[in-house]
Chains A and B, each alone.
Chain A
Amino acid sequence: MSRRLPWGPMARLTGRRILFAVPVLAVVTFGVFAVAAASPFDPVRAYAGTAGLTASQENLDQLRENLGVDRPLTGRWWDWLTSALHGDLGDSAVMRQPVAQVIGERLGWSVLLAATAFLAAIVVGTLLGVLAARRRGSPLDRAVTSLAYTLEAAPPFWLGLLAVWLFALKLGVLPAGGLTDTGSTTVGAGQVLSHLVLPAGVLAVSQLPWFVLYVRQGVGEALDEDPVRGAKARGLAQRTVLFGHALRSGTLPVLTLIGSRVPELITGALLVETVFSWPGIAAATVQAATSVDFSLLAALTVLATCAVLAGNWAADLLYGLADPRVGFDG
């Protein structure tokens, strides 16, 4: 691709998206505070845990005051927002740590897991999709398609448990969970890689069906288009037709899909991290939600929202680049 990139329109698209993100994030954070305040969970009870069962009412009331959850919702949200803008994300009650530290310690691991899984899903998914599209109706196509539908119906945590049973238990080739070997004191690259295989593999497989089916459909339709059929008729080699024409127009829908899969990826990662005791952000999200940890929950929601918005932005950008007819007016 040696054409000059349309920097101007791309920059304008990006600018528009950033402007759009500001009110969205403000609304989302307020939404988090509102929903958390309305939720039936009591932050004080969550903070106290089992100790709260024998704590005196006086003790619980004092906790409520210390945690600042007795104050009205809007005031709390505003305080959080203004200090967040000054770079102070507050303290996480459930983690007994500053929020910035919680996120700093965990985000990297989640990104590593999600990115690895996502890349694997894209590569393998595209490959299988193209193979299936080449001869629709062939046994290979039927096998790939039915596998995709089966996986579609399989919940990620179930796949996870299955993978643990097969690879860790029956075959004993891969570790069953954690980031490093249980009991190891350092985090070595080799260890992390071997521990990454199963969770990333399961997450990739859980994301796979969509890519396979979309690519298969896109490439299949492209193969039926007149220009491609014409190329075939002119006697161009199958490979040239497939990779020169069909793949390019056929993978367009996949490009948009990549961005829109981010929310799915986040929920998938949540389940997979839980099964594999992966010390990422997902576990913290679950804890923050169930214990109504306002500061942490808001920060994590901002992160997730940013990821979704960035995903959409990347999808539109790629789409615009791949298909000049679309342009950058999103």
Chain B
Amino acid sequence: MSGAAVTALALTAAACAAPDDGTAGGDKGGSDSAVVGIAYEPDSLSPLLGYGKDGNSKIFDGLLTHDAGMKLKPALAAALPKVTDDGRTYTYKLREGVKFSDGEPFTSEDVVFTYETILDKKTNNASKTELDAVEDVEAKGDDTVVFHLKYPYAPFAERTVLPIAPEHIAAKQDVNSGTFTTKPVGTGPYELVKWSKGEQLVFKANPDYWGGKPEIEHFTMAVIKDDDVRATRLRSGDLDGAILPPNLARTFAKDGGKKTYAAKSFDYRLVTLPTGNKVTGDTAIRRALDTGVDRKAMVDRILEGAGKEAYGPVPTDSPWFTRGTERAYDVDQANKLLDEAGWKKGADGVRTRDGVRAAFPLWYLTGDKLRQDHALAYASDAKKLGIDIKVESGTWEVIMPRMPEDAVLAGGGAPADPDFDQYGLLRSTLAGDGFNNMAWYDDKSVDRALEAARRTDDRAERQKAYDTVQRALVKDPGYTFLTHIDHLYVVDERFGDLTTQVEPHDHGLASGPWWNVEDWRA
């Protein structure tokens, strides 16, 4: 039935291929359905394997969730958690009368099962590190769950947006390859109708959703990896919305029937400057690069304006950002720094000091055009300072072993709490641990501030600690932060004015204006 409606809609839209007067889709045939194009597909729909860990999973709910302003609000919990025991015990009262979409009641046992399964050694979940602070989870009666932490961890509540799986289904099968990974059942606003891998995920509204039945009855995510194909299908009326790179999003600017949304993000691109390398480990070189690269040009040319200059992991428009840590672009100042530190320009225009040439390789991930552009721009700016950077590309397998010595163009960013990015990026004990602290950054005052910020939930005190961290990055920029990238979405205007959340580096299913599709008006 809905298929016919969507076809009718697609045909109507296609028939209006003449100059669009904004009425395409005005027929109400498919007004209760939305079809969006996404670029990434989850590997699994099981929360036990990491699906939806940052919230907005559509099929499931977490204990908590984020509103449009990224503030936590209760979901499966009836209220925000009570934190006791100096921040080591979190107690959640659960919402009453919630049922999974198969009719089974949701209880505290499901919460315990979910967290315990994720933490289990045998579960192949690559995000379980995020729950490192958890000592154990216990159910007190059907409606209360208590988390005991190993150490006080202020941002812990942010982690409890992860979706809760039904024990009565998931406990009966192999967690890594059972049918639950492709045919999930949850408490969320939508039920999965069909997941045709590599093609689309089809959802229908859950009529008994505790938050009220969504008005958008049919919601589909079409998986289209190729940017051009996605734009084409959006233009042909097959899609109502899509995520697009800047150059393609611009082609819809004059289309009266479509709106473009630029979602702000914590998604940064940076260059790691490993401490173990004689050149990149030198503070003068680091500071010269920090002030001698033209971030604004990168935003204007590479991102076509859809982004911001980055001076640290925290975007300049975030309340956590430390005012005054912006760096002016100043080539003369950068050259002066290098001259004073004894880096002298040679005949070939490259500086040397004590027989060491100011030269190092910079790696980026093969095939990632955005990173390639950033890397090339960085190298050409460095050249003007007399620093010779050789840009090379490789897969992570090639880059990994070289990370202690060579610079890497990396990306990351998690908006929910400053701890999530900064602890991994800067904590000296995590140097060389997987992809954490790729610069082998090592500063005692930063270590102390990072630990202090975790252990208190006093906002002002945490701000002070993160101010310390951001100021330390001015004095010794072990990473050159380049840009924060906006994510662009183009959506049919018939859905009215939509919102976007601040988005992380990962493109989950949840990002984009459809983060709250359950609240859209049909």
Show the binding face of A for B, using Cβ within 8 Å: 40-42, 45, 47-57, 59-60, 62-63, 66-67, 91-98, 105, 161, 164-165, 168-170, 172, 175-186, 188, 191, 274-275, 277-279, 283-284
Contacts and interface: CB of A to CB of B under 8 A. Distances in A.
Interface string B1-40: 0110011001100110100000000000010010100000
Nearest to A169: B236
A279 to B, nearest CB: 4
Tell which of B33, B44, B177, B505 has the most Cβ of chain A within 10 Å: B177
Contacts of B194: 185
A181 B13 CA distance: 14
30 contacts: A45-B396, A47-B43, A47-B124, A49-B43, A49-B126, A51-B50, A51-B127, A54-B129, A55-B127, A55-B129, A56-B129, A56-B132, A56-B436, A57-B434, A59-B434, A66-B121, A94-B43, A96-B49, A161-B229, A168-B238, A177-B222, A177-B233, A178-B199, A178-B222, A181-B10, A182-B238, A183-B2, A185-B3, A274-B226, A278-B199
Contacts of B50: 51
B380 interface: no
A57 B431 CA distance: 11
A184 B4 CA distance: 8
Interface residues of B, number: 70
Contacts of A179: 196, 199
Contact of B17 (A45, A55, A95, A170): A170
Interface string B102-131: 000000000000000000011011111110
B491 to A, nearest CB: 15
For the complex of A and B, the 4 pairs showing the least CB-CB separation, nearest first, are A184-B3, A172-B14, A48-B126, A51-B126
Contacts of A40: 395, 397-398
A127 to B, nearest CB: 32
A181 B3 contact: yes
B464 interface: no
B424 A177 contact: no
A186 B3 contact: yes
B467 interface: no
B202 interface: yes
Nearest to B414: A54
B202 A185 contact: yes
Contacts of B44: 96
A191 B7 CA distance: 10
Given A55-B127, A59-B434, A277-B224, 14 more contacts: A42-B396, A47-B124, A54-B129, A56-B433, A63-B126, A95-B43, A96-B182, A98-B177, A105-B197, A164-B232, A168-B232, A172-B14, A175-B10, A283-B197
A42 B398 CA distance: 10
B325 interface: no
B89 interface: no
B228 A161 contact: yes
Contacts of A50: 505-506
A297 to B, nearest CB: 16
Nearest to B127: A51
Contacts of B398: 40
Interface in B469-522: 505-506
B188 to A, nearest CB: 18
A286 B37 CA distance: 21
A282 to B, nearest CB: 9
Given A161-B229, A168-B238, A170-B17, A91 B176 contact: yes
Contacts of B200: 178, 182-183, 277
Interface string B373-406: 0000000000000000000000111100000000
Contact of B434 (A56, A67, A98): A56
Contacts of A284: 197-198
Nearest to B395: A40
B197 A279 contact: yes
A175 B122 CA distance: 44
Interface of B: 2-3, 6-7, 10-11, 14-15, 17, 30, 33, 35, 43-44, 46, 49-50, 53, 121-122, 124-130, 132, 174, 176-177, 181-182, 193-194, 196-200, 202, 204, 218, 220, 222-226, 228-229, 232-233, 235-239, 395-398, 412, 424, 433-436, 505-506
A51 B14 CA distance: 40
Given A45-B396, A45-B397, A177-B233, A53 B435 contact: yes
Contact of A182 (B222, B228, B232, B506): B222
B239 A182 contact: yes
A177 B412 contact: no
A291 to B, nearest CB: 9
Contact of B7 (A51, A176, A181): A181
A49 B398 CA distance: 16
Nearest to B435: A53
B293 to A, nearest CB: 23
Contacts of B124: 47, 63, 66-67, 93
Contact of B11 (A170, A172, A182): A172
Contacts of B53: 51
A93 B124 CA distance: 9
A176 B412 contact: no
Contacts of B424: 54
Contacts of A188: 3
The winner among B132, B174, B197 for most chain A CB atoms within 10 A is: B197
B197 A95 contact: yes
Contacts of B181: 96-97
A30 to B, nearest CB: 22
A277 B177 contact: no
Nearest to A102: B197
Contacts of A47: 43, 124, 126
B222 A277 contact: yes
Contacts of A91: 174, 176-177
A179 B195 CA distance: 12
B236 A172 contact: yes
B177 A96 contact: yes
Nearest to B13: A172
